[in-house]
Chain A
Amino acid sequence: MTSQGVRTRNLLWLALGVAVVIALPLVVKSSFAIDIFIRILLFSFIGVAWNLMGGYAKQLSLGHAAYFGLGAYTSTILQIDFGISPWIGMIAGGVVAMLASLPIGWLCFRLRGPYFTIATIATAQALMLIFLKFRDFAWGAEGTTIPNLGSAPLMMQFETKAAYYYVVLGLLAVGLAITYLIERSWMGYYLVAIGEDEDAAEAIGVNAPKIKRDIYLISSFLTALAGTFYTQYIYFIDPATAFSFSISIEAALVSIVGGIGTLWGPVIGTILLETTSTLLQSWLGSSIGGVQLTVYSLILMAVILWRPTGLMGMMREAWQRYVSRKPARA
């Protein structure tokens, strides 16, 4: 097949996929199912944001909850204290997250490998502790509920779950589009070069500190959008949810399981992990704590030990085996 043909085929698949996800809430009416779809889209989006920095540039952060939380708190404070719409608050949260990523990045990027990972954990935990401590400023440990206005699309509040579904679908589309564009730009190549060998990349003239700073800005901005959306969706915010370590974990987990540093990896990874978790819950009930993460960690270990390229790598290999078995066409 010619490369033109491959591109046409890929576009057709993409169009089909888009049609299916847009039609999904029109066909599936169960709010339980839509809730799961929303979780899948949300964590795919967080994974996509993480993957830009963690996947392509291999800056393995376990502190992205910092930006999720900053996004969530910025829009909530603007909404409750100043009556500003979360749509504006969402962008404001993204900007706050970008501003925060500058000093955090300045600190953490001086470190490599595991030092970097530990430093990112510490910054996210420190932010959580700050929000727990300062109650006059942001409700302290009890958190607060978001006033329910009923149907208020301008305040990012909707009557149907389907509407939330489309909002988060839009976010994911933006995240994937940004990843697609970066992957094909000079920046994408620089990121991969830094991920492969930072010293070698610098030796051939890649300005690694600047590239890392820029991708961190983009990654933290997107993660903050997810924070605002999540708070609006569950109508509640407290430091333990907004800065939850499990957000940082899941962002990295879905990307690694799906295929680190690939466009669709985080999406595929989230679909697998969230489906597994839903099946487990319907099978065992949610009464026993720890089941979900036990299974997640086993999947993660299996991927690391046997398929470090994740599900995307497995699918690519399977596809190549299938193609090579077919007789070549002229």
Chain B
Amino acid sequence: MWETVAQAVINGLLIGGIYALVSIGVTLIFGVVKIVNFAQGEFVMIGMYISFFLANQFGIDPLVSLVLSMPVLFVIGVLIQHFLIRRVLGPNDMPQIFLTFALSLLLLNLALMLFTANYRTVHTSYSDEAFHIAGLYIPVAKLIAFVVAMFLSGALWVFLHTTDLGKAMRAAAQNRDVAMLMGINPNRVFCVALGIALALAGAAGSLLMPFYSAYPFVGQVFVLMAFVAVVMGTLGNVIGALVASLLMGVAESLGIQYVGADSGLLVVFALLLLTLAFKPTGLGGKAR
């Protein structure tokens, strides 16, 4: 009994690390640029396909191709901010919500046209390896993904709190007008925020590849989870998103264990709706 629970919690935490990379990206964009990026999941998908093709064509390990998928997605993020999102920043909700939504539809369906709906997998030497500790089963690939995800999240936190650019981003998130008066160039800060957020999504994609299949719709799973985590953890709050993502992972895993294999998402939605009902500002707290 106790071991089943512990195993479910560990499975949840490990996948929660990936959710964290995706939701930290969503929350970073929301905090700094004040838009919700509905296409975040599709960038995970792109990261996965980059790693898949590098592994398939050149035999490059997905963990190595991380160093390529992250910068590629960083550049994509900067371009998207500069050429698309910048044009819809204004008081009106509709263009902001539906621009990234259209982008999500576009990328998803382009992937469907180019790569078909087939599931693509990469088999690495460590894909089937696992540690057995005290009766618990810990797959190596998932553990590596979790550790790298936590490392990247920590690195982002250090970046946001110690560098000038990071502080500028936090300032822009707190009060855009005052930040601009202090001489912060908003478009530059926004470009970096988009770039970092997409790079994290790309990292999530590469980290997933050794144990998860790539297919055009794969991002939808992660973005839904990320939205739930981000709303629970208060939109715009990086630590909140991280903690909520890990909780989401555990909740989903326990849901699968105790309610049924197809109930993971149901448990997660139930949590979201409960959060909205009783604490609409998220677990992180303060009203916006």
A contact face: mostly helix, strand, loop, or mixed: helix
Q: How many residues of A contact B (CB 8 A)?
A: 41
Kindly report which residue of chain B lies nearest to residue A55, judged by CB atoms. Answer: B94
Kindly report which residue of chain A lies nearest to residue B282, judged by CB atoms. Answer: A115
A110, A119, A252, A291: most-surrounded residue (chain B CB, <10 A): A119
Whether B99 contacts A305 by the Cβ 8 Å rule is yes
The CA-CA distance from A280 to B270 in the complex, in Å, is 40
Contact partners of A62 in chain B: CB under 8 A: 101
* Other-chain residue from B97, B110, B269 in contact with A294 (beta carbon distance below 8 A): B110
Whether A114 contacts B96 by the Cβ 8 Å rule is yes
Kindly report which residue of chain A lies nearest to residue B228, judged by CB atoms. Answer: A122
Contact partners of A115 in chain B: CB under 8 A: 231, 235, 280
The CA-CA distance from A151 to B97 in the complex, in Å, is 45
Whether A126 contacts B87 by the Cβ 8 Å rule is no
Contact partners of B92 in chain A: CB under 8 A: 308
* Other-chain residue from B98, B108, B111, B116 in contact with A304 (beta carbon distance below 8 A): B98
The CA-CA distance from A262 to B199 in the complex, in Å, is 40
Q: Which of A30-38, A129-137, A172-180 contacts B (4 or more CB under 8 A)?
A: A129-137
Contact partners of B101 in chain A: CB under 8 A: 62, 300
- A residues 117-154 near B (Cβ < 8 Å) are 117-119, 121-123, 125-126, 129-130, 132-133
Decide if A293 is an interface residue (CB 8 Å cutoff): yes
The CA-CA distance from A256 to B102 in the complex, in Å, is 12
Decide if B186 is an interface residue (CB 8 Å cutoff): no
Contact partners of B231 in chain A: CB under 8 A: 115, 118-119
Which residues of B does A touch, CB under 8 Å? 30, 35-36, 84, 87-88, 92-99, 101-103, 105-106, 108-113, 116-117, 216, 224, 227-228, 231, 235, 260, 262-263, 265-266, 269-270, 272-273, 276-277, 280
Which residues of A does B touch, CB under 8 Å? 58, 60, 62, 107-108, 110-111, 113-115, 117-119, 121-123, 125-126, 129-130, 132-133, 249, 252, 256, 260, 288-294, 296-298, 300-301, 304-305, 308
Could you list some 7 contacts between A and B, CB below 8 A?
A108-B276, A114-B36, A114-B93, A125-B224, A126-B269, A290-B108, A300-B102
Cβ-closest 10 pairs across A and B: A290-B112, A290-B109, A114-B36, A297-B105, A297-B106, A126-B269, A300-B102, A294-B109, A293-B109, A290-B113
